[in-house]
């Protein structure tokens, strides 16, 4: 019979490191979080070869004396839990595993000096062995250096990626922590380059804009809502300001960067009828909630959390996002394409036929006239002699600009181009509106306001209930959501260990396949922890109805109809983008117009 024995301390630390320190970015995260918890006002991060060769973090926090430093390198020793109330954790770190885990798989150098100490202290741990312990000269604070990560653990070393990939992961970690604490200054260096440097105390909105994208500040809405003992702050990009991947969604719970399925699903639900399914919102959301209502002790990496009342949290986030977007997303995030504007500024080449008429004449001379016979307009190449098509715009008597034009952000209609785009003049520029995209959004919002969602979600009872065979885990997820799904018109019940019985489906999906529908919903529940797919399908039905009931491209509108469309857009939430996330209008400011003609 095998003998049970205690594992050596060094091996225990190495096993723990497999969960805490899987790559340089994980070690960097733990060290920077320690600096934040130490009350630092300035943190400097320096990498060499993406952290594979060296990671160095310097802070001006409270520092440690030699005895504290020795204790910090023991497992489960921490200053962040003054008592045993782990549910009251208010710091980023609390498990006391990071430093001994890092020291067991790398060369770890810690130099620290408390503010009231005359000198600092250095302790070096090389893959679990203390190799140096003595005085050090440094200013108050702490400097931690990690070198030769996994040098003596080749099985782990070979699974690390290239220095470029590891640098990208480290960059993401520092960005998230810097966003979480706008009161702290951060400097991030890679080799000889300074990647970014931000000052403390600049405010949440400015910090997010500096780190994520500077244009987010102009193309986003600020969120600040408090309800049910929760508060949500941050900045959310307009639906027209989106990305093809979700790597620009930053989520925080009580200042802790997290990657949580429930929060990600809530974001997707809030943007469900404003973005195409392959596009993703750009945002940074900060949720503050009572410590007892969230469990942060789910995984040693501390990037996952569990909420005591998950549905309330999700509903709060969705409503807060939708309310913020309803007040701010009449704007369109997209300006005219830079390449297109560049072509406007190029003087077009004059056709040869026109040059033969106009070149060589002094048009300032009295009585100057053109004596050549009139020639037809030709294409730019002058080939074929085909007459160009007549312009598709129309000239109608324009309305006078009203005295209260400032109340009309989209301006007064001046005409229609290609029977598709409305040209309007506002007090501060030129507005171009896609009539079909704009009216499509207006019709969708009317359907919702009229209770069309309820009409769409009415149940269609099946003549013979359909039995859908599924995995037992999927059946459990669906059974937990029976009440929620019934509100959308999908009536199901458990039918044995590994089957569900479908009694009714939403009327609008009556021609759908119940097996495929339940399978997709179960997959969505497994991925996001919430049944979003059915609601999105109903939104898709509404969007399809809106598309067919809206003004089509190619339809001629009168000036009165154009102005009526503009006024309704100004009153309607989410009118800045169509149902697929594309912009419904763009604006060219008068300053830009004057630049085109060299007036500026």
Nearest to 39 by CA among 89, 87, 100, 80: 80
Determine contact, residues 263/287, Cβ cutoff 8 Å: yes
Residue 428 three-state SS = coil
Q: Which two tokens stand for residue 110?
A: 């810690």
The 8-class DSSP code of residue 312 comes to: H
pLDDT at 85: 62
> What are the distances in angstroms from CA 25 to CA 151, 167, 439, 529?
16, 8, 48, 27
The 8-class DSSP code of residue 583 comes to: B
Q: Which two tokens stand for residue 578?
A: 């169509």
> What are the distances in angstroms from CA 427 to CA 50, 125, 412, 566?
51, 68, 9, 14
Nearest to 534 by CA among 452, 445, 456: 456
b/e per residue 427-464 (b: at least 16 CB within 10 A)? eeebbebbbbbbbbbbbbbebbeeebbeebbebeeeee
Q: Which helix (H) or strand (E) holds 73?
A: none
Q: Which ranges in 397-434 belong to alpha helices (H)?
A: none
With vertex at residue 299, the alpha carbon angle to CA 96 and CA 182, rounded to the nearest 5 degrees, is 75
Cα distance between residue 330 and residue 239, in whole Å: 10
Maximum separation of any 2 CA atoms in the chain, in Å: 119
pLDDT at 357: 46
b/e per residue 288-297 (b: at least 16 CB within 10 A)? ebeeebbebe
Domains of the chain (ranges, CATH numbers): 9-81+92-198 (3.30.565.10), 204-328 (3.30.230.10), 409-600 (3.30.1540.20)
Residue 159 three-state SS = coil
Do β-strands 294-295 and 280-281 pair in parallel, antiparallel, or remain unpaired?
unpaired
Q: Which two tokens stand for residue 101?
A: 């885990």
Nearest to 445 by CA among 326, 559, 592, 313: 326
Strand stretches in 292-402, DSSP E: 294-295, 306-307
pLDDT at 405: 53
Q: Which two tokens stand for residue 79?
A: 């200053």
Q: Which two tokens stand for residue 469?
A: 């065979």
> What are the distances in angstroms from CA 457 to CA 518, 542, 545?
16, 10, 14
Do β-strands 283-288 and 249-253 pair in parallel, antiparallel, or remain unpaired?
parallel
pLDDT at 140: 95
Cα distance between residue 244 and residue 555, in whole Å: 32
For 94, left (φ over 0), alpha (ψ -120 to 50), or beta?
alpha
Cα distance between residue 453 and residue 456, in whole Å: 5
Unique residue bearing structure tokens 């600096």: 35
Determine contact, residues 141/40, Cβ cutoff 8 Å: yes
Give bridge partners of residue 587 from the DSSP assignment: 431
> What are the distances in angstroms from CA 142 to CA 64, 203, 371?
8, 26, 88
Determine contact, residues 401/539, Cβ cutoff 8 Å: no
Q: Which helix (H) or strand (E) holds 429?
A: strand 429-434
pLDDT at 541: 58
Q: Which two tokens stand for residue 200?
A: 């403390």
> How many residues can be counted in the chain?
600
b/e per residue 175-195 (b: at least 16 CB within 10 A)? bbbbbbbbebbbbbbbeeeeb
- In tens digits, the chain (600 residues) has pLDDT values of 788 878 777 777 666 666 678 889 999 999 999 999 999 999 999 999 999 999 999 999 999 999 999 988 887 777 666 666 666 677 776 667 788 889 888 999 999 999 999 999 999 999 889 999 999 999 999 999 999 998 888 877 888 888 989 999 999 999 999 999 999 999 999 999 999 999 998 888 889 988 888 888 888 889 999 988 899 999 998 888 888 888 889 999 999 899 888 888 889 888 877 887 778 889 999 999 998 888 887 776 677 888 988 888 988 998 899 888 876 555 554 555 555 556 554 444 445 544 454 455 554 555 544 444 444 544 444 444 444 445 555 555 555 555 555 578 888 888 888 888 999 988 888 889 998 888 888 887 776 776 555 655 577 888 889 999 998 888 988 998 888 788 777 899 999 988 999 999 887 667 778 888 888 788 777 776 665 556 666 666 566 666 666 776 678 888 888 988 888 888 887 788 777 777 888 888 888 888 777 776
Give bridge partners of residue 315 from the DSSP assignment: none
SS3 track for 430-472 = EEEEEHHHHHHHHHHHHHHHCCHHHHHCCEEEEEEEEEEECCH
């Amino acid at each position: 019979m095998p003998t049970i024995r205690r594992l050596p301390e060094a091996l225990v630390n190495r096993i723990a490191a497999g969960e805490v320190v899987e790559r340089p970015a994980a070690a960097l995260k733990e060290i920077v979080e320690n600096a934040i918890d130490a009350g630092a006002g300035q943190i400097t991060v320096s990498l060499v070869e993406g952290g594979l060769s060296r990671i160095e973090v310097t802070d001006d926090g409270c520092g440690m004396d030699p005895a504290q430093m020795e204790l910090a390198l023991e497992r489960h020793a921490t200053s962040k839990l003054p008592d045993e109330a782990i549910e009251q954790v208010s710091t980023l770190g609390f498990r006391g595993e990071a430093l001994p885990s890092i020291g067991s798989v790398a060369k770890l150098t810690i130099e620290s000096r408390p503010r009231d100490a005359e000198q600092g202290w250095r302790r070096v741990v090389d893959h679990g062995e203390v190799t140096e312990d003595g005085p050090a000269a440094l200013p108050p604070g702490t400097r931690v250096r990690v070198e030769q990560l996994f040098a003596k653990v080749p099985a782990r070393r070979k699974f690390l990626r290239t220095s470029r990939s590891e640098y990208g992961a480290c960059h993401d970690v520092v960005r998230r922590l810097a966003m979480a604490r706008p009161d702290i200054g951060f400097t991030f260096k890679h080799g000889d380059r300074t990647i970014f440097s931000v000052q403390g105390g600049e405010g949440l909105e400015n910090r997010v804009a500096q780190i994520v994208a500077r244009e987010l500040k102009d193309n986003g809405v600020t969120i600040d809502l408090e309800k049910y003992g929760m508060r949500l702050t941050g900045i959310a990009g307009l639906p027209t300001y989106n990305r093809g991947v979700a790597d620009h969604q930053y989520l925080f719970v009580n200042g802790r960067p997290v990657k949580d399925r429930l929060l990600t699903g809530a974001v997707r639900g809030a943007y469900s009828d404003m973005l195409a399914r392959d596009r993703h919102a750009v945002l940074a959301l900060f949720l503050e909630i009572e410590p007892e209502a969230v469990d942060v002790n789910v995984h040693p990496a501390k990037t996952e959390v569990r909420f005591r009342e998950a549905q309330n949290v999700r509903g709060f986030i969705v409503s807060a996002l939708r309310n913020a977007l309803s007040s701010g997303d009449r704007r369109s995030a997209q300006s005219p394409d830079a390449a297109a504007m560049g072509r406007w500024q190029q003087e077009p080449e004059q056709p040869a036929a026109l040059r033969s008429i106009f070149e060589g004449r002094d048009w300032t001379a009295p009585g100057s006239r053109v004596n050549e016979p009139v020639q037809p307009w030709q294409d730019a190449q002058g080939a074929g002699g085909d007459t160009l098509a007549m312009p598709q715009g129309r000239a109608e008597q324009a309305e006078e600009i009203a005295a209260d034009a400032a109340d009309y952000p989209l301006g007064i209609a001046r005409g229609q181009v290609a029977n598709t785009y409305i040209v309007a003049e506002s007090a501060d520029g030129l507005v171009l509106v896609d009539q079909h995209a704009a009216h499509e959004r207006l019709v969708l919002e009317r359907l919702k306001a009229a209770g069309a969602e309820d009409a769409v979600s009415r149940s269609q009872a099946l003549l013979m209930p359909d039995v859908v065979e599924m995995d037992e885990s999927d059946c459990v997820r669906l059974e937990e959501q029976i009440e929620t799904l019934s509100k959308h018109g999908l009536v199901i019940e458990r039918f044995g260990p590994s089957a569900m019985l479908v009694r009714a489906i939403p009327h609008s999906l009556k021609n759908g396949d119940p097996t495929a529908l339940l399978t997709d919903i179960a997959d969505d529940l497994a991925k996001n922890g919430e049944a979003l797919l059915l609601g999105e399908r109903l939104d898709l039905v509404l969007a399809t109805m809106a598309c067919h009931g809206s003004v089509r491209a190619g339809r001629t509108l009168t000036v009165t109809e154009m102005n009526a469309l503009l006024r309704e857009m100004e009153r309607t939430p989410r009118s800045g983008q169509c149902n697929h996330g594309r912009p419904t209008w763009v604006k060219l400011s008068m300053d830009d117009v004057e630049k085109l003609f060299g007036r500026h």
